[in-house]
Amino acid sequence: MKKTTRAAEQDRPDIKAARIRWRRAQPGWDSQRLVFLDETGLNTKLARLYGRCPRGQRCVGAIPHGHWQTSTFIAALRAERISAPFLIEGAINAEVFTVYLRQVLCPELRVGDIVILDNLSTHKTEGVAELISAQGASVRYLPAYSPDLNPIEQAFAKLKAHLRQAAARTLDELQYALVKSLLTFSPAHCQGFFRHARYASI
């Protein structure tokens, strides 16, 4: 049986209390207004983790170990769709995140939306809350060490499974595979991610 793991820090009294407060606040939220925002690293050496081969033989796959390109994918998950997707070369920083908010996410926000972020320092850059509140939306930060409370983690897992299968070896190929993968995310998939993280009323 596969073991399910979680952050040991969730056992700390302060983290436990924060998680309880988070869950208690949920009944007052309209799930159609929740916007879970996060980023994930991608690269041009992604490959399938499993394969088939004749019995008794080792299953071996080739991936580049010398040269590969890295990028960061930023997106928001709503109850019915992936929203505001954005791919950049390299790692994210405060400046890039601010540009993303201003040019990509904020134009898609609606009055009353709740943008939910983890505690990455970039997400707490000065001006983040102001940019979002200017759209009539608000910001909430997840309890620390609580990726299980963020349904976009499930979406990213599905996305990376598709990208491993595509095995893109250039950034152009990666971008093409990413677009193809995003087209497979149906409202039912997104609703399932919400339910898995126990955000009800879907």
The model carries a pTM of 0.86
Q: What is the mean pLDDT of the chain?
A: 88
Helix (H) or strand (E) holding 83: strand 82-89
pLDDT at 168: 77
Whether the pLDDT of residue 64 is over 60: the answer is: no
Q: Decide which of 89 and 69 is more confident.
A: 89
pLDDT at 49: 41
As beta bridge partners, residue 114 has 34, 138
Distance CA 114, CA 75 (A): 15
Helix (H) or strand (E) holding 11: none
- Indicate the range of 8-22, 58-72, 79-93 predicted with least confidence: 58-72
Task: Set out the domains of the chain in order of their start, with CATH numbers.
Answer: 29-44+69-196 (3.30.420.10)
Distance CA 83, CA 35 (A): 9
